[in-house]
Amino acid sequence: MADFSTDVRYIKGIGEQRAKVLQKLGIANLRDLISYFPRTYEDRRAYKRIADLVAGESACVRAVVADEPRLSHVRKGLDLVKLRVVDESAALDLTYFNQAYLKNTFHTGEEYVFYGRAEGTLLRKQMTNPLFERAGENRVTGRIVPIYPLTAGVSQTLLSHAVRQGLDACADDLTDFLPEDVRQAHRLCHVRYAYENVHFPADEEALAVARRRLVFEELFLLTLGLRLLRERRAAVAGQRCENTDLAPFYAALPFALTRAQKRAIEDCARDMASGRPMNRLVQGDVGSGKTMVAAAAVWFAAQSGLQSALMAPTEILAEQHYHTLAPLLEGLGVRCALLTAATKAKARREVLEQLQSGALTLAIGTHALLSPDVQYQKLGLVVTDEQHRFGVDQRASLGAKGDDPHLLVMSATPIPRTLALMIYGDLDVSLIDELPPGRQKIDTFAVNSSYHARIYAFLRKLVAEGRQAYVVCPMVTENDTSDVRFADERKAVTAYAETLQKEVFPDLRVAPIHGKMKPKEKDAVMRAFSEGDVDILVSTTVIEVGVDVPNAAVMLIENAECFGLSQLHQLRGRVGRGAHKSYCVLISDNAGEENRQRLAVMTRTNDGFAIAEEDLKLRGPGDFFGSRQHGLPSLRVADLSCDMALMHDSRAAAERLLAADGALAAHGALRSRVAELFELGAGAMN
């Protein structure tokens, strides 16, 4: 008898070879298989009489093969099988490309259901490569059909057959680990119904019911997992920092900290002196001065002889942090080093040695700082900038590096409270809800591309006044999709920069920067920009996070419709960092109402949290989960469909359950599922 852990190889039609390909989709056993959810669905329930087929529309027809199929060999690599089928209303001509074997599949007089897009004229109806099956079979026609994300060597048919068998094989194993009362209270269907209908929905309603249950389950498990993670971290001993006076640190700063910054710093100091590992998120809008909070924590740890690692999501940012922090901290006796992919072998060896010996106190770099080859003498604090790219699994594995270091994460992503609780459920939060004094509102305009000339003139005027500008270049997308991930950023950026330089600003200094450049090249461009040697920096979103050039006063964003509101806000946050009046121009030719509304939000407010709330309202959290930037364990269904109410309910239910049964002692199946998902070791949940 098969169960969840049965290898997919044992499924009929899947051998060694296909099992290997399925591995690429993350499918190894039956549990993986049945948890491989469709990307979307195709409604193939509409049957039509051939005479009623409308060109361009897809439909099923039930028809009889009218004559023997003809195979013609057009040229090398092009075979056609043609046949005519009829129903009581009319005839339909079918053409199949390069499937010569079909000649022997169809026989005169046999009845099939064909599904495809109708073509041709009123008098001569046609279909090309329609799907077919024997009438009554109802597997690929006549129903709502799942469409799975594929990889080379796996077809929809193969997958849906495999899933079908997988579901049948482990039906008995699909016991419900959601507590019965939770299920009833939230009107959730049984897990078996959910799996069946998420793959092979009986109708739309069944699909909605199935999804709702699976999303709830996923978020419920997520909340439980994060809470248990938090408790686990709270139960281990942390490295106690001496409760040192922060005054010397404050005195070394070139400016007075805001009240919010001080509050966050004091939160950290308290955590670090508590004898438990700190798990703190510092959340503050772009420009709110989070870096200084990190600096304070590093200094605080250093006073107790502890080393720190500060991780940024990109090399550029790591360098920038280094250039900001090193002068300040070195002045306070904290020795700092930068360690990135660009660090030369010799320098790298030295840094590694000094980290191991304890001669260095702070290492600044990317995630590589936590790789096994980087050894610390006494790592006491890990700071990560831009938290959402530092996953839960990484947070969970922190303990492995040194003796449960304190963790400080900084995020500029203003996440609405409900969502934040969901994602940062294992962290305490300090909010920096105040900007340093003297910041001016960034004036934001949303226009279409007919304004280009005027905008370029405006850029020129500001550059003449000594300012600099960012231009986020248009997306060149392939495959006719607007998915920015498919954009060839290198091509887009260099082409646009070239056009600007040659045709618009021949007398100004225009430079491109993009993610495909070598770290060294990127660094050179970024440095030139921050030193004022470049007037206009053309980029993709590599500048999205954190880069600080106070003299930059304009952010021009092309194809603004391609970005989420929060992302636009992040981009805008690159300007208005100095004393100069700053502007953001959003260019979009998408005149749709939704886009207009979104961009209007940007022009109305500078408040990141308000923007995030709007974004959530307009697009729903599914979009956020789908962005894969959250660092959560991979969410399968919440990605697809999720609403705020459901998120709220699932979280509340999880918290109620934990309040009653904190260790999930009475919910064994649930407990092991959570442990499995979070890859918490055996001891972790005790």
Q: N- to C-terminal Cα distance for the chain?
A: 32
Is residue 289 involved in binding ligand ADP (CB under 6 A)? yes
Least distance in angstroms from the C-beta of 432 to ligand ADP: 7
Is residue 546 involved in binding Mg ion (CB under 5 A)? yes
Stretch in the footprint of Mg ion (CB under 5 A) among 543-551, 565-573, 599-607, 611-619:
543-551
Q: Are strands 58-65 and 40-43 parallel, antiparallel or unpaired?
A: unpaired
Tokens, residue 478: 């392939």
Stretch in the footprint of ligand ADP (CB under 6 A) among 70-78, 95-103, 164-172, 280-288:
280-288
Q: In what helix (H) or strand (E) does residue 74 lie, and over which residues does it extend?
A: strand 70-75
Following DSSP, what letter does each residue of 130-164 receive, concatenated? -EEEETT--SSSSSEEEE----TT--HHHHHHHHH
Hey, is 512 helix, strand or coil?
A: strand
Angle (CA) 326-327-329 rounded to 5° is 65
Least distance in angstroms from the C-beta of 505 to ligand ADP: 27
Is residue 225 involved in binding Mg ion (CB under 5 A)? no
Nearest residue to ligand ADP, by Cβ distance, number only? 289
Strand partners, 306: none
Considering the complex, state which of residue 436 and residue 626 has its C-beta at the smaller distance from ligand ADP. Answer: 436
Considering the complex, state which of residue 81 and residue 282 has its C-beta at the smaller distance from Mg ion. Answer: 282
Q: Which residues lie closer than 8 Å to 184 by C-beta, 6 or more apart?
A: none
Stretch in the footprint of ligand ADP (CB under 6 A) among 198-206, 288-296, 368-376, 610-618:
288-296
Calpha distance 253→250 (Å, rounded): 6
In the list 143, 577, 580, 673, the residue contacting ligand ADP (rule: CB under 6 A) is 577
Q: In what helix (H) or strand (E) does residue 500 lie, and over which residues does it extend?
A: none
Considering the complex, state which of residue 130 and residue 546 has its C-beta at the smaller distance from Mg ion. Answer: 546
Is residue 257 involved in binding ligand ADP (CB under 6 A)? yes
In the list 142, 179, 287, 512, the residue contacting ligand ADP (rule: CB under 6 A) is 287
Least distance in angstroms from the C-beta of 259 to ligand ADP: 10
Q: Which residues lie closer than 8 Å to 560 by C-beta, 6 or more apart?
A: 446, 568, 586, 587, 588, 599
Total number of residues that touch Mg ion (CB under 5 A):
1
Considering the complex, state which of residue 319 and residue 558 has its C-beta at the smaller distance from ligand ADP. Answer: 319
Least distance in angstroms from the C-beta of 441 to ligand ADP: 16
Considering the complex, state which of residue 222 and residue 552 has its C-beta at the smaller distance from ligand ADP. Answer: 552
Is residue 548 involved in binding ligand ADP (CB under 6 A)? yes
Strand partners, 63: 112
Considering the complex, state which of residue 608 and residue 633 has its C-beta at the smaller distance from ligand ADP. Answer: 608
Considering the complex, state which of residue 46 and residue 579 has its C-beta at the smaller distance from ligand ADP. Answer: 579
Considering the complex, state which of residue 405 and residue 546 has its C-beta at the smaller distance from Mg ion. Answer: 546
Considering the complex, state which of residue 457 and residue 579 has its C-beta at the smaller distance from ligand ADP. Answer: 579
CA-to-CA dists, residue 188 to 211, 303, 654, 668, angstroms:
10, 53, 14, 20
Hey, is 444 helix, strand or coil?
A: strand
Q: Are strands 144-147 and 40-43 parallel, antiparallel or unpaired?
A: antiparallel
Considering the complex, state which of residue 50 and residue 571 has its C-beta at the smaller distance from ligand ADP. Answer: 571
Least distance in angstroms from the C-beta of 323 to ligand ADP: 11
Taking CB within 5 to 8 Å according to partner kind, which of ligand ADP, Mg ion, none is near residue 101? Answer: none
Binding to ligand ADP by CB under 6 A, coded x per residue (else -) over 417-456, reads -------------------x--------------------
In the list 46, 104, 124, 255, the residue contacting ligand ADP (rule: CB under 6 A) is 255
In the list 2, 222, 272, 292, the residue contacting ligand ADP (rule: CB under 6 A) is 292
Cβ atoms of 570 and 600 closer than 8 Å? no
Hey, is 686 helix, strand or coil?
A: coil
Binding to ligand ADP by CB under 6 A, coded x per residue (else -) over 395-414, reads -----------------x--
Taking CB within 5 to 8 Å according to partner kind, which of Mg ion, ligand ADP, none is near residue 639? Answer: none
In SS3 terms, 294-314 reads as HHHHHHHHHHCCCEEEEECCC
Per CB under 6 A, which of residues 191..230 are in contact with ligand ADP? none
As to burial, measured by CB atoms within 10 angstroms (0-12 exposed, 13-18 middle, 19+ buried), residue 265 is buried
In SS3 terms, 334-388 reads as CCEEEECCCCCHHHHHHHHHHHHHCCCCEEEECHHHHCCCCCCCCEEEEEEECHH
Considering the complex, state which of residue 38 and residue 546 has its C-beta at the smaller distance from Mg ion. Answer: 546
Sign of CA dihedral 348, 349, 352, 357: negative
Q: How is the beta sheet containing 510-513 ordered, strand by strand? A: 443-447, 583-587, 552-557, 468-472, 536-539, 510-513
Considering the complex, state which of residue 571 and residue 601 has its C-beta at the smaller distance from Mg ion. Answer: 571
CA-to-CA dists, residue 262 to 257, 412, 472, 640, angstroms:
6, 17, 34, 40
Instruction: Choose among 194, 224, 221, 216: nearest CA to 649.
Output: 216
Is residue 288 involved in binding ligand ADP (CB under 6 A)? yes
In the list 280, 290, 388, 671, the residue contacting ligand ADP (rule: CB under 6 A) is 290
Taking CB within 5 to 8 Å according to partner kind, which of ligand ADP, Mg ion, none is near residue 289? Answer: ligand ADP
Taking CB within 5 to 8 Å according to partner kind, which of ligand ADP, Mg ion, none is near residue 474? Answer: none
Taking CB within 5 to 8 Å according to partner kind, which of ligand ADP, Mg ion, none is near residue 97? Answer: none
Q: Which residues lie closer than 8 Å to 204 by C-beta, 6 or more apart?
A: 144
Q: Using CB under 6 A as the criterion, which residues of the chain lie in contact with ligand ADP when the complex forms?
A: 255, 257-258, 261, 284, 286-292, 412, 436, 546, 548, 550, 577
Q: Using CB under 5 A as the criterion, which residues of the chain lie in contact with Mg ion when the complex forms?
A: 546
